[in-house]
Amino acid sequence: MFFMLAFSIAGLAQGNGFYNFKVKTLDGGEFNFSTLKGKKVMIVNTASKCGFTPQYKDLEDLYKEYSDELVIVGFPANNFANQEPGTNAQIRKFCTDNYSVTFPMMAKISVKGSDMAPVYKWLTEKKENGVMDSEVKWNFQKYLISEDGKLVDVVYSKDRPNCDRILAWLNSK
């Protein structure tokens, strides 16, 4: 019994905590999630050719309005109906030219299936995040992370980034 408990505690100490992730940006640099400590974080999977693509504007507006306490991290993904076929350079150009995106955008990844990116395994599996299981159902699904790196909620695509639920979370202390 003691050995199992000690092993579990050691596993938690090493763990796959939110702040342990390092990912590539659209521009090829490294983005370390440890830089997000103390901020609320919204992770969103994006696509350039989706009916929800205009949410980029809402995301950018929210990012600017709440810049002191919120970081939005976009992950382009081509998992749904081939709606993000572009290269990282094409995605960067699209986001800049059409929506003036300034929030951090990561390199294109997979958000479901056998090639799911590790950060999305953490977001969608209770055994990883300690809170809940979920499934990425479509583009522009939003995951809300607290200032201490805990998964708080999942907000589905149909709910815009400035919906009452997200604003209530942002304004809670």
CA distance 60 to 53: 12
Domains and CATH numbers, the chain: 18-171 (3.40.30.10)
| pTM listed for this prediction | 0.90
The pLDDT, as a whole number, for residue 173 is 76
Classified as helix, coil or strand, 83 is: coil
Angle, alpha carbons 70-21-136 (nearest 5°):
70
Going by C-alpha positions, the residue among 124, 173, 170 that lies closest to residue 151 is: 124
Torsion sign across C-alpha atoms 111, 138, 140, 49: positive
The pLDDT, as a whole number, for residue 95 is 98
Tens-level pLDDT at each residue, the chain (173 residues):
433 433 333 333 334 599 999 999 999 999 999 999 999 999 999 999 999 999 999 999 999 999 999 999 999 999 999 999 999 999 999 999 999 999 999 999 999 999 999 999 999 999 999 999 999 999 999 999 999 999 999 999 999 999 999 999 999 97
Count of Cβ atoms closer than 10 Å to residue 2 Cβ: 6
CA distance 65 to 55: 15
Residues recognised as catalytic: 50
Q: Where are the alpha helices (DSSP H) in the chain?
A: 2-14, 55-65, 88-99, 118-124, 126-129, 164-171
Angle, alpha carbons 65-70-72 (nearest 5°):
95
Q: What is the DSSP letter of 26?
A: T
The pLDDT, as a whole number, for residue 16 is 55
